[in-house]
Amino acid sequence: MSPQFSSDSTHQALAGCGVRLRDAREAAGLSIDDVAARLRMPARVVRSLEAEDWSRLGAPVFVRGQVRSYSRLLGLTTAPMMEALNVEPVQPTQLISRTHTPKAQWWAEQIGRRLVYIVLTLSLAIPAWVATRQHLNSTPATVAALDTPVVVTVPGKPAVAAAPRTVVASMAPMTPMAPSLQQEPANDVVLRASGQSWLEVVGRDGSVLAKAMLTDGAEKRFPVDQVQRLTIGNAAVVQMEVNGQPLNVSEHARANVARFAVSSDGSLAAQD
């Protein structure tokens, strides 16, 4: 039976149900909105039920439930209306037993699963084996020699192999060796921003080495022998170091803008 034929036959069997529902509602003194509120359904569904406009209510199984709920609300006998609903029952989903699966398909599925398992196992085992071999091959000869027995030779007596020495690694921290020469501070100009600022650095050849906005936590470093001028905006949030020595930028700022000229010996001079 086609869906169109089933829907048409159901709609014909429901003829007159809408009129009976409407008459019962009016006799009870209820409005469409009252019925919609009590049944918790849109008012347009109530109107469609009374107008017998089944095409706007979806599948016949939904029409059956809505007519039953409306009839119970108005105290009507639901059996005559349900008998008039010639709705086909919902067919359950058919389950196919695995015993009906062709043997060729079953074997193909089993072999496919095993191949996937083998490939995954090899993809994990081979890299681990390669890494272990590389670690063993890279063991220093001096470490391997610790396990070699020591042969003690005494004049007049045969050589005796002494027991190998056991070396125990100490967990005590090693004392760092003092550097032979003290590292000299780099001859740099270091700028660190603790807020938003802007910076312009001009080199000794007149080119612009940097021109950018500085955000909180930003750090810029320039060799002293390459810098000719520096201009720092919002100088209150910028800390400067020259050749490892701190310099108070805000003390040399005008309107919170600091300008510096760098001499040939690396010293800085504030400019207005």
CATH label of the domain that carries residue 49: 1.10.260.40
Q: What is the tens place of the pLDDT at every residue in 147-163?
A: 555 555 556 656 555 55
Q: Which of 268, 180, 195 is nearest to 229 (CA)?
A: 268
**How many percent of the chain have pLDDT more than 70?**
69
* In the predicted structure, residue 177 carries a pLDDT above the cut 60: no
Let me know if residue 148 belongs to a domain: no
Separation between Cα atoms, residue 148 and residue 165, nearest integer Å: 8
**52 neighbors 14 (Cβ within 8 angstroms):** yes
**Gyration radius of the chain's alpha carbons:** 46
Let me know if residue 170 belongs to a domain: no
Q: Considering 84, 110, 128, which residue would you say is the last residue of a domain?
A: 84
pLDDT (0 to 100) of residue 20: 83
* In the predicted structure, residue 167 carries a pLDDT above the cut 60: no
* Number of domains comprising the chain: 2
Separation between Cα atoms, residue 139 and residue 193, nearest integer Å: 48
Give me the residue label for tokens 């919170």: 256
Give me the residue label for tokens 């039920």: 49
Separation between Cα atoms, residue 249 and residue 93, nearest integer Å: 81
Let me know if residue 120 belongs to a domain: no
Q: What is the DSSP letter of 220?
A: E
Give me the residue label for tokens 């599948």: 59
Let me know if residue 131 belongs to a domain: no
Look at strands 227-233 and 268-271 and give their pairing.
unpaired
Q: Considering 23, 49, 84, which residue would you say is the last residue of a domain?
A: 84
The answer to which of 2-6, 194-198, 228-232 has the lowest mean pLDDT is: 2-6
Q: What is the DSSP letter of 75?
A: T
Name the residue with higher pLDDT: 83 or 71: 71
Let me know if residue 16 belongs to a domain: yes
pLDDT (0 to 100) of residue 224: 83
pLDDT (0 to 100) of residue 148: 53
pLDDT tier at 6 (50, 70, 90 boundaries)?
very low
* In the predicted structure, residue 40 carries a pLDDT above the cut 80: yes
Q: What average pLDDT does the segment 200-214 reach?
A: 89
Let me know if residue 256 belongs to a domain: yes
**Which residues, 6+ apart, have CB-to-CB distance to 193 below 8 Å?**
214, 215, 216, 217, 218, 219, 237, 238
- What range defines the domain where residue 223 resides? 188-271
- In the beta sheet, which residues pair with residue 117? none
Q: What is the tens place of the pLDDT at every residue in 83-135?
A: 665 445 545 555 555 556 788 888 899 999 998 989 888 888 888 888 888 87
Q: Considering 67, 84, 101, which residue would you say is the last residue of a domain?
A: 84
Let me know if residue 57 belongs to a domain: yes
What average pLDDT does the structure give for the chain? 76
**What 3-state DSSP class applies to 193?**
strand
pLDDT tier at 221 (50, 70, 90 boundaries)?
very high
Let me know if residue 106 belongs to a domain: no
**Which residues, 6+ apart, have CB-to-CB distance to 144 below 8 Å?**
none
Q: How many degrees, rounded to 5, is the angle at CA 174 between CA 172 and CA 177?
A: 165
Q: What is the tens place of the pLDDT at every residue in 231-265?
A: 988 889 898 888 888 988 888 888 789 898 988 77
Q: Is 235 exposed, middle or buried (0-12, 13-18, 19+ CB in 10 A)?
A: buried
Separation between Cα atoms, residue 132 and residue 120, nearest integer Å: 19
Instruction: Using a cut of 0.75, tell me whether the model's pTM lies above it.
Output: no
Separation between Cα atoms, residue 133 and residue 248, nearest integer Å: 58
Q: What average pLDDT does the segment 19-40 reach?
A: 88
- In the beta sheet, which residues pair with residue 199? 212, 232
Q: What is the tens place of the pLDDT at every residue in 196-206?
A: 898 899 998 88
Q: How many degrees, rounded to 5, is the angle at CA 59 between CA 55 and CA 63?
A: 80
pLDDT (0 to 100) of residue 1: 44
pLDDT (0 to 100) of residue 12: 45
Name the residue with higher pLDDT: 53 or 159: 53
